[in-house]
Chain A
Amino acid sequence: MDRRTFLQNSMASAAYLGIAGAGLQSCSTQGTKQITILHTNDVHSHIDPFPSDHSRYANLGGLARRADLVHQIREENPNTLLFDAGDIFQGTPYFNFYGGELEFKLMSKLNYDAATIGNHDFDNGIDGLLAQVPHATFKLLSANYDFTNTVMNGFVNPYHTYYLDGIKIGVYGIGIALDGLVLQKLYKETVYHNPYEIALDTERKLKEEENCDLIICLSHLGYDYENNPNRPDDVTLATKTQHTQLIIGGHTHTFLEKPDVRLNKIGEEVLVNQVGCYGLNLGRIDFYFDSAKKVAGKGVSIQV
């Protein structure tokens, strides 16, 4: 190899490395991306762990421990979101004494990203809910409650989108019918809309207008009302939607052994999960993303 060729070769190599380097930087796309979704539901003001002599949940739960767990997982993967599926309030004297202030402040300290509204979150009336809004740094999401004619107007969004590591995540909230569950004088002029219709409309918006890569529903409908098919529930919601990939449920305090895999309207798999109640468990769903070419024809592999 004479000197000239050597130089030319090195220059070319340098150029190659440079470009390739820049390329790799600008597209961290080559590797798999991971989005971690953490969730709770029906915590019902359970801030302290259950006492050691409790008949069922001895030494389980507790906000300070949940904080440790969430912190560990966020360290492991910074691209983590934390959600709650409603019924944050009511269940221990902390709520009776402080009206939910402590619950909202602690959820903010744990960096919750969003919560939907459960029926018990109206227990101090819609004014009682509004009073706690200043203590929340997380979003309150509900697509099928219309708060227009209430004091909560402007404090609740139908959905919110997050952008993590180039992945756009759309999250919307769905609430349960209030009539019969909550006294009208508590929820006042809050209007409940059909959850299925609203879910379809909202997920379409998140897919087509917001171009989300991942769509999640926070639902307080309840897991499954087998004996009452007219009552909307999460497993039916899963079969009626087509863009939603995960339904994080609440209300029925259902302890699922593992996330439930259902088929949606177009025959694709959708996860329905609920982790019991009282902050005894933290749900965790990891979503992995690859380039379309790598995924092509392989479909989504689900490990639960």
Chain B
Amino acid sequence: MSNSAVSTKNSALPPKTSAYLDWLQMLSGAALIIFMWTHLCLVSSVIISPAVMDAIAWFFEATGLVYVFGPGIFLIFLLHFVLAARKIPWVTRQQTAMWDNAKRMQHQDTWLWIVQAGTAMVILIMGAAHIWVVLTDLPITAAKSAARIQGGAWLVYYLVLLPLVELHVGIGFYRIAVKWGFLSRARRKGFHAKENMLTIIMISIGVVTLARFMFLTIH
């Protein structure tokens, strides 16, 4: 807190802007967490059978939900990036300060924030490309997804994107819980351990799903 920066009262922003933006950041993040977990569950239905995945995809196609959810999620995805990016240091001096602080402190939650910010940059580009490829080739079918994965390049692509997304989602889930006061001091450690386990489970389901696509016979 410098001598020249002592007043929060005279902020140039309208009085409630910061609060509204914080609400939106949390709500868009929570919506994306729910979406990502649901998305993984739906796609991983291919492990049971491609017919199950096709049936689910058909439901979203027939009801038109895919045309609402698809672009809707993409907009929330972009909105969440813009809102969360307000907290990310873009100035070299701030980046250096944050990096030095994390290295000096060796503090887990500070490192987790850096992981969250770093994965966000990659997810923005890779996630956007994934959404574009899927939404411009509707309807979704197990055969189309399998053909994409069996091409080879997309397999590598998703093997990179999957852990980055699950890490970002898992850390985001934990951070919402601590930032918004849903966790007591006593429950923090246990909650974090469970969240780590959940992230590992989600990545594992994703890897098995990719393997299923890889070895699926395409008719």
- A, B assembled together: no
Q: Could you tell me which B residues sit within 8 Å of A by CB distance?
A: none
Q: Could you tell me which A residues sit within 8 Å of B by CB distance?
A: none
